[in-house]
């Protein structure tokens, strides 16, 4: 599936579900980081509308006991990849989505400012589907063609004291093989393979 073709920061091949939870990136921000997350609502349940509702401030907080723990939270990601590989976009990539929170990676804080947040439908510690890796690899490749992306990391890497997603069930080596980027683009521990090439 070719993902190319944009309208400003909106990828036309994604289903658009605009979120109000975003803001302007700071002046001079360079979009050079992709942050991979995982989410399911309720936790461990897949296929429902709850994640989309959550990111658009439309979730019924009384619909499940777990939702009381996140009541009133206003968050978003740029993209969400469902278990079947469907790609949904919530925020213009040129804007700042609210996905990283307090964070630090490669010498910089507040990585919401200069990153793209991608949520995978899943539970931290659980495995992910082949269709999700395929869509994620295609999306990473397309983002790197349009923006100066140099690194991919998990939420667990940029906020290690707070977050644990996407967790040990996520196969970083598989993603690296599928995008063909050098080892230095990824968090440790990803085995070194000098046959790969960096983002174009």
Please report, for residues 27, 55, 67, 114, 138, the alpha-carbon distance to residue 96 in angstroms, rounded to integers and kept in the order given: 12, 14, 25, 8, 21
Distance (Å, whole) CA 141 – CA 119: 16
Residue with tokens 């599928």: 178
Helix (H) or strand (E) holding 89: strand 87-89
- Is 8 among the catalytic positions? no
Is the four-CA dihedral 133, 171, 176, 29 of positive or negative sign? positive
3-state secondary structure of 66: helix
Q: Which of 119, 124, 142, 156 is catalytic?
A: 119
* Catalytic (active-site) positions: 119
């Amino acid at each position: 599936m070719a993902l190319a073709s944009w309208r400003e920061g909106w990828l036309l091949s994604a289903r658009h579900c605009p979120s109000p939870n975003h803001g302007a990136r700071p002046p001079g921000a360079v979009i050079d980081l992709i942050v991979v997350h995982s989410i399911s609502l309720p936790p461990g349940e897949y296929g429902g509308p709850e994640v989309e509702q959550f990111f658009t401030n439309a979730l019924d907080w009384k619909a499940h006991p777990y939702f009381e723990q996140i009541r009133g939270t206003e968050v978003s990601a740029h993209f969400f990849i469902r278990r079947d590989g469907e790609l949904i976009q919530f925020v213009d990539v040129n804007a700042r989505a609210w996905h990283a929170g307090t964070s630090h990676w490669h010498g910089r804080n507040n990585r919401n400012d200069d990153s793209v947040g991608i949520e995978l439908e899943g539970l931290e510690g659980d495995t992910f589907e082949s269709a999700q890796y395929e869509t994620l690899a295609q999306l990473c490749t397309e983002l790197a063609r349009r923006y100066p992306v140099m690194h991919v990391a998990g939420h667990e890497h940029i906020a290690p004291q707070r977050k644990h997603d996407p967790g040990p069930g996520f196969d970083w080596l598989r993603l690296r093989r599928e995008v063909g980027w050098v080892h230095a683009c990824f968090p440790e521990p990803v085995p070194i393979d000098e046959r790969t090439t960096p983002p174009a």
